[in-house]
Amino acid sequence: MNTTTTVLGYPRIGPRRELKHALEHYWADGDAAQLEAEARRLRAETWLDLKARGLDTIPGNTFSYYDQMLDQVHLLGVVPDRFRALGLSDLDTYFAMARGRDGVAPLELTKWFDTNYHYLVPELDRDTRFHLNPDKILTELTEAREHGVDLRPVVIGPLTFLLLSKSTSPDFEPLSLLNHLVDAYADLLAQLDAAGVDWVQLDEPALVQDRTPAELDALRRTYDKLATLTERPRLLVATYFGDPGPALPVLVSTPIDGVALDLVSAPGLVEQIAALPSLQRKTVVAGVVDGRNVWRTALGDALSTCATLSGSVGRLEISTSCSLLHIPYDVEVEDELDPRVRERLAFARQKVDEVVLLGRALSESIVVDAGNTAGRLINDEQAVRDRVAAIQTGDRQRAPYDERRTAQESIGLPKLATTTIGSFPQTVEIRRARADLRTGRIDQATYDERMRSEIAEVIARQEDIGLDVLVHGEPERNDMVQYFAEQLDGYATTKLGWVQSYGSRCVRPPILYGDVSRPNPMTVRWASYAQSLTSKPVKGMLTGPVTMLAWSFVRDDQPLQVTADQVALALRDEVADLVAAGIRIIQVDEPALRELLPLREADRKAYLDWSVGAFRLATGGAPAAVQVHTHLCYSEFGAVIAGIDGLDADVTTIEAARSRMEVLADLAAVGFRRGVGPGVYDIHSPRVPGTEELIALIQAALASTPADQLWINPDCGLKTRTYAEVDPALRNLTKATQQVRTTL
Ligand code: GLN
Ligand code: ZN
């Protein structure tokens, strides 16, 4: 049988983050030629590597200087006026949209579905018209041909583009631009056809979210129109991250040539495919290799899925479930990983090899080794499993709030208590100490001493500023997840496992590979040292179970909920140790609670049940007199607001400065009555908020929240800022609070 192989997309930051470095150079010195040369080199390297590995069709336009949605804004010529008005070159206009410039705010940045990748949100209004600008795609086609590679260009599909865009006119729906947009795509397809492109891939991940009948109708019209054009390449419409559900029959009833489906997140699709006769005349790109997680594929299972499918489709192409953008490049370079962990891993290059191997196995009937190591657990700790099995409902239940509130009066806090979210600026000296420890230039004792003196300075500064609840400043943490992952059993960290988060920003998610447990206390010595320096309460600072999973690669052989409870039990022990060490306030951060929210409404309640349950298990052992805080980033909570209430934290601090306290009204609507600290200082900006402005925000908050419920704090941690910004901002914050207090 003629089975071919492909992947839906590939990482672009470079195996050693070359693009990040090139971008940062360009932003500093403006040498565009150098940046472009590096970009060309990276593209060629990717194409040639994919070709050498034996992939039949290679996706194009997967390179981006910053983000694929931003590329699409450029492609469709919908650059908002405020950026055009800057009169910059195309490249600098592009970066202005991404990063802002000369007081012009950038496009909004938000999460790409339920991944940890962020895209820039296109802005559309009533007057938007599309002006096609396909130079980038066409240039890459030519470049690739010079290397003997024919590409299948990948662009975001028209529906997903509109559904992810933001309306900037009142009473205007981006979807109303669909007809104009489809015309622009028709033009694009004609140009690609003229350029000799065989297939084009239109990504429509928005189809795996709940869609209205009107949206499904728009889907039908879009692809009926595009697929009946005469001058066009063959059309592959790709969905991923879930099951397109009712969108699938609509989509395949149109005369498109192929559809890519994510059979990893939605294995049930295999049966649906068999029930759709129109697929017998189309290509089905079967995403059987997980593009979002790092485990080796169970090749035997994947192979039998493919064999089943091949009977019910016109032509089968084997692929990854989604773009490989979300995983690191190469596991081979991870020579410090425990070999038992490493042999179970496949990063982007290895996933390509798996796809190729599956293709060979099918078309040449080569036997693959089905007995590979995929799925085998290596940190199998019966004690951890027993403990999870023994969890009681009461373990997730603290004393009633009123009782806690009374018990916590002994902490002695004023109304409008002031605090920060945890981290203080990570100075050059702190980073250098960490690097020096890693390379062996300083020993552990010297490193610890540097951290202690940093903590002492941070405590003294907070006392001087007059904050009520202090923090130790988190100087010892490279990252709020990795720091804990390094200390927990069942977690590994990588050397070069970088994944793009947005633009030049990359993260290195730890790998949770087995049962999780805590061999030793993780934070107690730093917290108790900080507390020993002051009579004010110092908050213990932990990362919550949901965030520990959301920002890691997680084992997929058991429900997330079980893994979350294992992490929660480890944190519960840490909470107990902090309490025993005399810490009276403990903050458990859950900035990722919103992120893991399932894409479909029907799955959300179950998610909130287990995620909230894990948080409550982590904190449920805290005595009534100990105040539990939590912190959440982002102000758009909508769907998780009930979950926030369910966390049952004594105090919840939330990002709110940009949305001018909107979240308070949402919380009031669900009858939230525990402590709440809406951020009054936007730490994402270098700007120092003035006292008057802070007073106005505090007063706005007081309009919906009683003074004894309200806390005053910044939006988020201060680690990315400098002291020159943070010091005056916090002084203004305490000053503003004191002034408002006199009016209570
Ligand atoms: N405690 C963390 C800090 O202050 C919280 C970071 C976050 O919310 N992302 O850095
Ligand atoms: Zn935050």
Per-residue pLDDT tens over the stretch 528-583: 999 999 999 999 999 999 999 999 999 999 999 999 999 999 999 999 999 999 99
Q: Is 90 exceeded by the pLDDT of residue 660? A: no
Question: Which ligand has the nearest atom to the CA of 683?
Answer: 2
pLDDT tops 60 at residue 710:
yes
What is the mean predicted confidence (pLDDT) over 156-179? 96
- Indicate the pLDDT class of residue 1, thresholds 50, 70 and 90: low
| Alpha-carbon gap, residue 434 to 457, rounded angstroms | 18
Distance 512 CA to ligand 1 centre (A): 21
Give 209-224 pLDDT, tens digit per residue. 999 999 999 999 999 9
Q: Tell me what pLDDT residue 364 has.
A: 80
Identify the H or E element spanning 711.
strand 711-714
Rounded CA separation 263/630 (Å) = 36
Q: Which atom of ligand 1 is nearest to the CA of 422?
A: 4
The pLDDT value recorded for residue 228 is 98
Judged against a pLDDT cut of 60, whether residue 160 lies above it is answered with: yes
3-state helix, strand, coil in the chain (%, to 5): 45, 15, 40
Does the structure show a pLDDT above 60 at 373? no
Q: What is the pLDDT of residue 94?
A: 97
Q: What is the DSSP letter of 683?
A: T
Quote the pLDDT of residue 377.
Answer: 67
Q: Would you say 636 is a known binding-site residue? A: no
Give the model's confidence band at 118: pLDDT under 50 very low, under 70 low, under 90 confident, else very high.
very high
CA nearest ligand 1 atom 6, residue = 717
Atom of ligand 1 nearest to the CA of 716: 8
Task: For residue 154, report the distance from its CA to the centre of ligand 1, in Å.
Answer: 36
Residue entry with tokens 């702190």: 430
> Is 322 assigned to a binding site?
no
Pocket test for ligand 1, best of 118, 421, 470 (most atoms within 8 A of CB): 421
Annotated binding residue 716 = yes
State the Cα–Cα distance between residues 52 and 55, nearest whole angstrom.
8
Number of the ligand 1 atom closest to the C-alpha atom of 587: 1
Radius of gyration of the chain (CA): 27
* pLDDT of 206 strictly over 90: yes
Alpha carbon nearest to ligand 1 atom 1, residue: 422
Question: Which of 631, 635, 654, 726 is the best mutation target for the ligand 1 pocket, counting ligand atoms within 8 Å of the beta carbon and taking the most?
Answer: 631
Dihedral class, residue 19 (left if φ above 0, else alpha if ψ from -120 to 50, else beta)? alpha
User: And the tokens for 742?
Assistant: 């006199």
Domains of the chain as residue ranges with CATH: 4-66+108-364 (3.20.20.210)
**Residues 348-364, mean pLDDT to the nearest whole number:** 94
- Of all ligands present, the nearest one to the C-alpha of 480 is 1
Q: Dump pLDDT digits (tens) for 607-625.
A: 999 999 999 999 999 999 9
Q: How far is the CA of 718 from the centre of ligand 2 (A)?
A: 9
Torsion (CA) 455, 461, 463, 469 in degrees, nearest 10 = -60
The predicted-structure confidence for 389-428, as pLDDT tens digits, reads as follows 999 999 999 999 999 999 999 999 999 999 999 999 999 9
Mean pLDDT of 508-513: 97
- What is the distance in A from the centroid of ligand 1 to the CA of 265? 30
Mutate to test the pocket of ligand 1, among 419, 423, 588 (most ligand atoms within 8 A of CB): 423
The set of residues, in sequence order, having a beta carbon less than 8 Å from that of 578 and lying 6+ positions away, is 523, 524, 527, 540, 586
Cα 25 to averaged position of ligand 2 atoms, centre (Å): 28
Query: Does the pLDDT of residue 658 top 80, yes or no?
Result: no
H-assigned helices in 61-194? 68-75, 81-84, 90-99, 135-146, 158-164, 178-194
CA of 684 to the centre of ligand 1 (A): 12
Nearest ligand, CA 635: 2
Annotated binding residue 646: no
- For residue 173, pLDDT over 60 is answered with yes
Q: What is the 3-state secondary structure (H, E, C) of 404-467?
A: HHHHHHHHCCCCCEEECCCECCCCHHHHHHHHHHHHCCCCHHHHHHHHHHHHHHHHHHHHHHCC
Name the residue with the closest Cα to ligand 1, atom 3: 717
Q: Which two tokens stand for residue 226?
A: 């595009």
19 is in an annotated binding site: yes
Nearest CA to ligand 1 atom 4: 717
pLDDT given at position 569: 98
pLDDT at 56 > cutoff 70:
yes
- Can you tell me the distance from the alpha carbon of 688 to that of 684, in angstroms, rounded to the nearest whole number? 11
> Among the atoms of ligand 1, which is closest to the Cα of residue 632?
8
Distance 393 CA to ligand 2 centre (A): 29
Binding site annotation covers 179?
no
658 is in an annotated binding site: no
Residue 638 clears pLDDT 90, i.e. is over it? no
Residue whose pair of structure tokens reads 């200390």 in the numeric block:
487
Q: Which two tokens stand for residue 636?
A: 């758009």
103 Cβ contact partners less than 8 Å away, ≥ 6 residues apart: none
Atom of ligand 1 nearest to the CA of 719: 10
Closest-approaching ligand to the CA atom of 543 = 1
Q: Could you tell me what percent of the chain has a pLDDT over 70? A: 98
- To the question of whether residue 423 is assigned a binding role by annotation, the answer is yes
Query: Whole-number mean pLDDT of the chain?
Result: 95
**Could you tell me if 322 and 495 are in contact, meaning their C-beta atoms sit under 8 angstroms apart?**
no
Q: Which sequence positions are flagged as catalytic? A: 684
With the most atoms of ligand 1 within 8 angstroms of its CB, the residue from 474, 653, 683 to mutate is 474
Give the pLDDT band (50/70/90) at residue 634.
confident
Q: Is the pLDDT of residue 368 over 80?
A: no
Q: Measured in angstroms, how far is the CA atom of residue 632 from the centroid of ligand 2?
A: 5
**Does the pLDDT value for residue 667 go beyond 60?**
yes
Per-residue pLDDT, 363: 84
Is 194 in contact with 207 (CB distance < 8 Å)? Answer: no
**Mean of pLDDT values over 270-282:** 95
Which residue, judged by its Cα, is nearest atom 10 of ligand 1? 717
- Ligand 1 binding pocket, CB closer than 6 Å: 421-423, 474, 480, 541, 589, 591, 631, 633, 716-717, 719
Please indicate if the annotation marks 551 as binding a ligand.
Answer: yes
Predicted complex ipTM? 0.99
Atom of ligand 1 nearest to the CA of 633: 8
Whether the predicted pLDDT of 697 surpasses 60: yes
What is the position in ligand 1's atom list of the atom closest to the CA of 631? 8
pLDDT band at 740 (very low <50, low <70, confident <90, very high): very high
Q: Hey, whose CA ends up nearest to atom 9 of ligand 1?
A: 591
pLDDT at residue 376 greater than cutoff 60: no
Confidence of residue 370 (pLDDT cuts 50, 70, 90): low
Which of 469, 586, 589, 718 is the best mutation target for the ligand 1 pocket, counting ligand atoms within 8 Å of the beta carbon and taking the most?
Answer: 589
Ligand 1 mean position, distance from CA 421 (Å):
6
**Nearest ligand to the C-alpha atom of residue 677:** 2
